[in-house]
Structure 1
């Protein structure tokens, strides 16, 4: 589970990232990236809408995305903020496919 310091919490944070962040579209997700002014810990947020499927499927996708974010957390530069929006096909995507898509999308945001 992500620590509170690594989670986006407020609706304003989500809104700001979705509107102003850099967007990277993959087959099963849209990743929004931005750098915060502070050197705080990297933070993640997840959007899994009802278009993904019933609650069981949405929760499965959300858990997978959280696990992926935990894997890449230590490779991200401080102050990185990320929102991952799952697209409707994400529930049918395999773990390996989702993992490679998200890792590739976040590849440019690793520590420098």
Structure 2
């Protein structure tokens, strides 16, 4: 994760949130699909609910 996302504490928070969101969304992804999630600087200011909605929306469009 890029240092543009924020300090080490912020990057780790975003990383933990993304791991939790991905664990929830994994059943939606078709088997064998490769998914890359990139945390942009704006992801540091987004709450968990918004992050989950955005990841789910993107996965539904691309990997389902």
Shared fold by TM > 0.5?
Answer: yes
Q: 1:74 Cα shift? A: 1.5
Q: Is residue 66 of structure 1 aligned with residue 19 of structure 2?
A: yes
Q: 1:75 Cα shift? A: 1.9
Structure 1 segments (4+ residues) deviating >2 Å: none
Q: Is residue 101 of structure 1 aligned with residue 54 of structure 2?
A: yes
RMSD: 0.9
TM-score (norm 2): 0.91
Q: Which has the higher contact order (CA 8 A, sep 6+)?
A: 2
Paired residue total: 63
Structure 1 residues without counterparts, runs of 5 or longer = 1-47
TM-score (norm 1): 0.54
CA distance in 2, matches of 1:84, 1:69: 9
SS at match of 2:37: strand
Answer 1 or 2: which has greater helix percent.
2
CA distance in 2, matches of 1:53, 1:77: 32
Q: 1:99 Cα shift? A: 0.8
Q: Is the 2:5–2:41 contact (alpha carbons within 8 Å) kept by the matching residues of 1?
A: yes
Larger Rg: 1
